[in-house]
Chains A and B, each alone.
Chain A
Amino acid sequence: KAGVTQTPRYLIKTRGQQVTLSCSPISGHRSVSWYQQTPGQGLQFLFEYFSETQRNKGNFPGRFSGRQFSNSRSEMNVSTLELGDSALYLCASSLAAGSVYGYTFGSGTRLTVV
């Protein structure tokens, strides 16, 4: 079956702009989590969605937001981009909420803010 699909793979944006990233989880997986990966901070949790509801949110400013649709696809949005938002954004899907079964990761979206 198809894996976790993230689009686009690469993005270059200018400071102040906003960006929307998309994630399609594995069929049947209803939980989608987002992580930011940077060389300095490693993998940092952004948020988790399950059945269209945000269950948990990491320590990121309100410029970072997300949503989940009825088909479990998820989007995350970053507004008013800053240079420090440059990172690899990873989407992870799981069969159930709470990540207790572990994640299946997408390939990520590489965001560069200039």
Chain B
Amino acid sequence: AQRVTQPEKLLSVFKGAPVELKCNYSYSGSPELFWYVQYSRQRLQLLLRHISRESIKGFTADLNKGETSFHLKKPFAQEEDSAMYYCALSSGAGKSTFGDGTTLTVKP
């Protein structure tokens, strides 16, 4: 069975501070991992994929297979980063498992 855990429901940081949203997963095979973001009154959208090794809007995420983690990081948070963030795992069999999400608030 595959499982995604986001231990923090709420996370609050000040503008300019570093931010890390945690994601841990459980899966016996080689997972594909993603971060999705939902800004207020907008649809859920893909933020980044671990296979792309890209940085989107200053966010990066590194897959740590030893710790089975895929934490999302940004060195300097901006107010426009305030949103709901979901970590998701795909086994490739057509099903993605999502975490419960973390609401990030960046205070001015």
Residues of A within 8 A of B (CB): 3, 31, 33, 35, 42-43, 45, 48, 50, 55-56, 58, 90, 97-108
Contact = CB atoms under 8 A, between A and B. Distances in A.
A35 B101 CA distance: 15
Interface of B: 32, 34, 36, 43-46, 49, 51, 86, 90, 92-101
B43 A55 contact: no
Contacts, number: 58
A102 B34 contact: yes
Nearest to B51: A100
A58 B95 CA distance: 8
Contacts of A90: 44
A25 to B, nearest CB: 14
20 contacts: A42-B100, A42-B101, A45-B97, A48-B95, A55-B93, A56-B93, A56-B94, A97-B94, A98-B90, A99-B32, A99-B90, A99-B94, A99-B95, A99-B96, A100-B32, A100-B90, A102-B46, A102-B90, A103-B96, A106-B43
